[in-house]
């Protein structure tokens, strides 16, 4: 046995995670707890327990993978988003806490417009975190999940099944809103919005994520521009479009939106850190 107890295993891991992780203790504990199928509280209360040999081997592999910069959620295969746990693989973007604002805004809108069951479309669904959270909070909603990547769709399907929303979620493979067969009341999207030229400056862990989920042309706005062009034909009256944007894209995205939507209310919402985060367009 390489380590006498969990404490020694944690110490070994922390030393290897320091160069790549902001919170090496936390990450070492998450890896250990995930392997043991314990929660962190239980782990911390039993650090003097021995670590079974088979788990020790896997733990070692996991820590060394993380030490090369691979993101933690790809190693554990899961991440929390809006208080739900989602499976993730390298085929999908890892859900970020900032994106929870998009979900909150969609839910606020669904609250104030309790028309017939809302039709919701999620463009670039990835893990499905946005649309599955919405479907689980809005039991009447009919939802579309659109993605270019069949591998991503498979992950989203698995997540939808876990939360029992598979039969209300229609999966469409294709580009942005093109495959949507009917106009929607709520369109949500966390599209790629990073400039291609920024790839080399992204943190190593981010470069493990799918480039197609992150990059959008020379100014990072290709996906947003095309989404805005398609949107008017795909929105129901009184409908809303919510698009996540980069923290310095508010002014330029607002101008693009106002060019397309001359008679709709367009605004930018900032996140908890005060950064531009979501474009909102509401039709009369």
What is the sign of the dihedral through the CA atoms of 179, 282, 159 and 190? positive
Nearer to ligand GLN, 128 or 239 (CB): 128
Q: Does 118 bind ligand GLN (CB under 6 A)?
A: no
* Residues 6 or more apart whose Cβ sits within 8 Å of residue 177: 121, 123, 146, 187, 227, 230, 231, 234
DSSP, res 249: -
Q: Which of residues 190-209 bind ligand GLN (CB under 6 A)?
A: 190-192
Q: How many CB atoms lie within 10 A of CB 154?
A: 15
Binding track over 85-104 against ligand GLN, x by CB under 6 A: --------x-x---x-----
Tokens of 12: 């070994």
130 to 159, contacts with ligand GLN by CB under 6 A?
130
The span from the CA of 108 to the CA of 278, in Å, is 14
Query: Judged by CB under 6 A, which of 76, 125, 159, 280 binds ligand GLN?
Result: 125
Q: How far is the CB of 114 from ligand GLN (least distance, A)?
A: 25
Which of 124, 183, 239, 250 forms a contact with ligand GLN (CB under 6 A)?
124
Asked whether position 213 contacts ligand GLN by CB under 6 A, the answer is: yes
Which residue in the block uniquely carries the two structure tokens 């909102």?
280
Determine phi and psi for 16, rounding to 5 degrees.
-80, -25
The binder of ligand GLN chosen from 73, 118, 126, 183 (CB under 6 A):
126
Which positions touch ligand GLN (CB under 6 A)?
Answer: 93, 95, 99, 124-127, 129-130, 190-192, 213
């Amino acid at each position: 046995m390489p380590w006498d107890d969990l404490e020694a295993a944690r110490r070994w891991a922390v030393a290897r995670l320091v160069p790549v992780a902001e919170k090496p203790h936390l990450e070492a504990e998450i890896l250990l707890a995930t392997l043991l199928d314990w929660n962190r509280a239980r782990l911390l209360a039993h650090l003097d327990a021995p670590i079974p040999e088979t788990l020790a081997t896997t733990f070692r592999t996991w820590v060394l993978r993380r030490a090369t910069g691979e993101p933690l959620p790809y190693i554990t295969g899961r991440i929390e988003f809006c208080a739900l746990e989602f499976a993730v693989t390298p085929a999908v973007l890892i859900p970020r806490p900032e994106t929870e604002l998009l979900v909150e805004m969609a839910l606020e809108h669904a609250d104030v417009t309790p028309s017939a069951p809302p039709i919701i479309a999620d463009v670039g669904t990835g893990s499905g975190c946005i649309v599955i959270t919405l479907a689980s909070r809005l039991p009447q909603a009919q939802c579309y999940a659109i993605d270019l990547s069949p591998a991503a769709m498979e992950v989203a399907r698995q997540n939808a099944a876990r939360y029992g929303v598979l039969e209300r979620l229609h999966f469409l493979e294709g580009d942005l809103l093109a495959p949507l067969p009917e106009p929607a009341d709520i369109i949500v999207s966390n599209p790629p919005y990073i400039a291609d030229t920024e790839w080399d400056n992204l943190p190593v862990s981010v470069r493990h994520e799918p480039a197609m989920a992150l990059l959008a042309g020379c100014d990072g706005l290709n996906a947003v521009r095309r989404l805005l062009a398609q949107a008017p034909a795909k929105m129901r009256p009184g409908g809303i479009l919510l698009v996540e944007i980069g923290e310095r894209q508010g002014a330029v995205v607002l101008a693009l939106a106002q060019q397309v939507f001359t008679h709709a209310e367009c605004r930018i919402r900032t996140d908890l850190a005060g950064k531009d985060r979501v474009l909102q367009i509401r039709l009369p």
